[in-house]
Homo-oligomer: A and B are copies of this chain.
Amino acid sequence: MHQIPIGIFGLGTIGTGVMRVLEKNGALIRRRLGAEIAVRKIVDLDITTDRGISIAPGLLSTGADDILKDPEIQIVVELIGGTGASRDVVRQALAAGKHVVTANKALLAEHGEELYTLAQQHQRRIAFEASIGGGIPIVQAIREGLAANRIESIYGIVNGTANYILTQMTEAGAPFEAVLKEAMAHGYAEADPSYDIEGIDSAHKLAVLASLAFGTPVALDQVYTEGISRITPVDIDYARSFGYKIKLLGITKLVNGQVEARVHPTMISEKTLLAQVDGVLNAIYVNGDAVGPSLYYGKGAGALPTASAVISDLIDISRDILHGVVGRVPPAAYLQASREPIAIRNMDDVHCRYFLRFGTVDEPGVLSRIAGVLAQHQISIASVIQKGRRADGPVPIVMITHRAMERNVKNALQETDSLEITRDKTVLIRIEDWRHEDGK
């Protein structure tokens, strides 16, 4: 049986998962591939901790060169994370004529263009199915399955931690801080959860998705990013009363020849499939001009789902190696030479509907003053809720607007927030609506 020798950098959760799945399903993979994926070396700084798997003697090393300078190793799996050592390893591996598989969305979001170009120069592959949506084969779906389509829009729940927290807040009515603490206790949130809850991890993934979908480089700082830490049970309740759920979405669309790329808490109809995606699960909703709406759902993180994606890349590259082919599918979905810069839309120019919750004093005429300011900024109101008076603090006036321009909304809120009737800064949550014939 032909062997494909590989080396793995990083024996953490995912690395251990890859070893377990290769061990468990090795025979099955051979029946599909016609060859064996053979781990020749695993490099990690820590080679003494027991990971609960049996590892052949001599397989572990702390020396990067044991992989990078081994001429037999054909594929390098980068599971180090971050953008420092991981970037060096990927560059050196490609330069040494090795193919690369990575699960590292931060690396791709920040240095993807450099690495795609480097891979092409060295006629080697860089594959990253595991970097978005864990085990969901979304990269292949966009790059190959939907290759006949002009992609129109993508809406993704791509961070399980944030989705778990919003789900718990929705189901239990608990405040953000309490749910975050519980998520950390359950291991669903990191000790430093800011990447997940502030939308940064989602922005990494969205930058890669947008780049694949539209064939253009998307820099991380071009992705508008807003997290979930200011979402309250009050707003979740209001959302429900309007028939919405709040999800942290990565959104990218082609609008008037510009690419929108933004991550923020979003109200979506509770009737959509995305609204049903709860807990740590992920889903990516992709609209193409031929296929219409489509959705891809599964576990976005965890040792085994991520290993599933890493190994699918290993199998895919192994097929290329076995057949002596390189460059069959471009890494970023478009031929490098055919990728074209497309302007990324300024967030100020985005149009959508808005949920606004004003915290004003309880006086006659307040609603009319606020409505007046909105009207001056070309913002028209679709519905208003003003609940009964409260003894303790400001009275919420809640509005849903018709489609308006972000710039106008920001200017209007700057004005209303500085009125003497206003006590609390206005809460703004964007709304996305979609209707695709029968699609959800």
Contacts and interface: CB of A to CB of B under 8 A. Distances in A.
Interface of A: 17, 21, 24-25, 28-34, 129, 134-137, 140-141, 144-150, 215, 273, 276-281, 283, 288-299, 302, 304-305, 307-312, 314-316, 319-320, 322-330, 333-335, 338, 437-440
Given A148-B315, A334-B32, A293 B298 contact: yes
B312 A292 contact: no
Given A290-B135, A316-B144, A149 B25 contact: yes
8 contacts: A29-B147, A31-B215, A31-B334, A32-B333, A140-B140, A141-B141, A145-B312, A325-B328
B335 A34 contact: yes
B312 A148 contact: yes
Q: Is the interface of A mostly helix, strand, loop or mixed?
A: mixed
A137 to B, nearest CB: 3
Given A144-B315, A147-B315, A290-B304, 18 more contacts: A17-B290, A25-B148, A34-B335, A144-B312, A145-B312, A148-B307, A149-B308, A288-B308, A291-B299, A291-B305, A292-B299, A292-B304, A293-B298, A294-B296, A295-B296, A295-B298, A299-B439, A323-B328
Contacts of A290: 17, 21, 25, 135, 304-305, 307-308, 311
A278 B140 contact: no
Contacts of A278: 438, 440
A311 B147 contact: yes
A28 B150 contact: yes
A298 B308 contact: no
A148 B18 CA distance: 10
Contacts of A28: 150
Contacts of A291: 134-136, 298-299, 304-305, 308-309
Nearest to A440: B276
A92 B291 CA distance: 30
Contact of A297 (B24, B297, B308): B297
Nearest to A296: B296
| Most B Cβ at <10 Å: residue of A134, A148, A278 | A148
